[in-house]
Amino acid sequence: MDKVLFLALTLSLLAVLTQVNCSSSKLKRVRRAQVLGFDWKNCGKPDDPAVLKTLNLSPDPISIPGDLIASASGSTAVELKSPLSLDVTLEKEVVGIWVKIPCVDELGSCHYRDICDILNQLIPPGQDCPEPLHTYGLPCRCPFKAGSYSLPKSDFYLPNMDLPYWLTNGNYRVQGVLSSQGKELSCVKVALSLNSDN
């Protein structure tokens, strides 16, 4: 995961998602879940300007609900401002074959036209960034200025959540490509296993 703003965006979204609860009839309440074998790597081009240098999550497995300890660092050589598009490819392993999950209700392999708009909806302008981003002076909405970002080891609480029925158990791969005006800025791949009780 050597592409950065994904640091700021990933941390912003992580902090925000711990506070957001979706309410859709297509989602089901997960009483308990575990994320096992979380792994990430960079998938971008050598000249991508946004670089996530480190991302550490513990414990392994991560329990939901439960406590999560996260630290990260990265940098961006350019200001990351609206519009910032994000292309997500989500795959699930089915009998040894990786199957691409289509975009359904904004979940799955989706194209998001502007992550900045989404961040503004989750954390309205003028509102403080959630902790611990606020304490460390890390941004949670666009623009993300050029420079280096670092989140020391920080505690997060992951609450109960609602998940689509197809996203509750299995091995997953996720790739995110961040772009602006057709130019790739960053690319990150994540792999994990999810086990849940209904």
Q: How far apart are CA 110 and CA 95, in angstroms?
A: 24
Domain membership of residue 1 (yes or no) is no
Average pLDDT on 9-30 reads: 45
Mapping DSSP to helix (H, G, I), strand (E, B) and coil, where does residue 193 land? strand
Q: Is residue 134 part of a domain?
A: yes
The answer to the question of residue 109 being in a domain is: yes
Confidence tier at 27 by pLDDT (50, 70, 90): low
Instruction: Report how far apart, in Å, the C-alpha atoms of 153 and of each of 68, 82, 141, 149 are.
Output: 10, 29, 21, 13
CB atoms within 10 A of CB 75: 19
Residue 49 lies in a domain: yes
CATH number for the domain harbouring residue 187 = 2.70.220.10
Tell me, what's the pLDDT at 85?
93
CB atoms within 10 A of CB 178: 25
Average pLDDT over residues 23-34: 62
pLDDT at position 198 is 60
> In the predicted model, is pLDDT for residue 11 greater than 60?
no
* 74 domain-assigned: yes
- Per residue in 68-122, pLDDT (tens digit) is 898 999 889 999 999 999 999 999 999 999 999 998 888 889 999 999 998 898 8
Could you give the number of structural domains in the chain? 1
